[in-house]
Amino acid sequence: MTRIVRIAAMADLHYTKNATVSLRAVFREIAESADVLILCGDLTDYGLPEEVEAALAELRMAPLPIIGVLGNHDYQSGREKEVKELFEKGGIRILDGESIEVAGVGFAGTKGFGGGFGPRTLEPWGEKMIKAFVQEALDESLKLESALSRLRTEHRVALLHYAPIAATVAGEPEQIFPFLGSSRLEDPINRHHCDVVFHGHAHRGAPVGATQTGIPVYNVSLTLLRRSFPQAPPYRLIEIPVGTG
């Protein structure tokens, strides 16, 4: 016997303290159509507490489990720890190398980082700053590996802000691909046989791609979804069949 777990996913909400565009109607719809809501980073524009409060005021329209990761914009003001704490006080679980089980599905998440893809992946060679950049990408990949390894569920979902594959950033200028994601994030996803991956960050990328082993990867950037599917609400809805015994 199986049941369906419906996962809605969005990214790059970029809330400001004086937001002029509301997503309340979208969150109400998600509450009716999904069992879990995934937020893949850049929830705020400058990583300020006031922006968190603006986001929470609207996210309360979706009274269901909400799981997210932070994005680069959420780090902008150097207050990312406070941002995470405020979101969690508001009932939203922010993952940073951690995992959680909801409705029989395991969720593992981290922000991720840049570095490029495939044979053009940046290597730790040369100046200290280059080595530090590459180390950050390695550290984020290890966070994802650790989070996925702790899950004991049959079904696993990975949440990121940065892309793990090049396919879902295609459409962005190739010159900035190294700042949009890293192939190093793909390895743990394939190794732990994730069902699906969600990320944001690449506003002008492509909505869907796949890892080398065929795992679907969805770019759920709000701007991208609105442009790609103008007649649909700006979130991706995925169904996962979960066995109940």
In this predicted model, what pLDDT tens digit does every residue of 33-68 receive, in sequence order?
A: 999 999 999 999 999 999 999 999 999 999 999 999
Cα separation, 163 vs 85, whole angstroms = 25
| Cα–Cα distance, 141 to 20 (Å, whole number) | 36
Residue in 177, 173, 168, 158 with CA at minimum distance from that of residue 38: 158
CATH number at residue 15: 3.60.21.10
Decide if 13 contacts 39 (C-beta within 8 A).
yes
Domain with 123, as residue range(s), is: 2-243
- Can you give the pTM of this predicted structure? 0.96
> How many structural domains does the chain have?
1
pLDDT in 10s for each residue of the chain, 245 residues? 789 999 999 999 999 988 767 899 999 999 999 999 999 999 999 999 999 999 999 999 999 999 999 999 999 999 999 999 999 999 999 999 999 999 999 999 999 999 999 988 988 888 999 999 999 999 999 999 999 999 999 999 999 999 999 999 999 999 999 999 999 999 999 999 999 999 999 999 999 999 999 999 999 999 999 999 999 999 999 999 998 65
Q: Is 211 exposed, middle or buried (0-12, 13-18, 19+ CB in 10 A)?
A: buried
User: 């309360």: which residue's tokens?
Assistant: 60
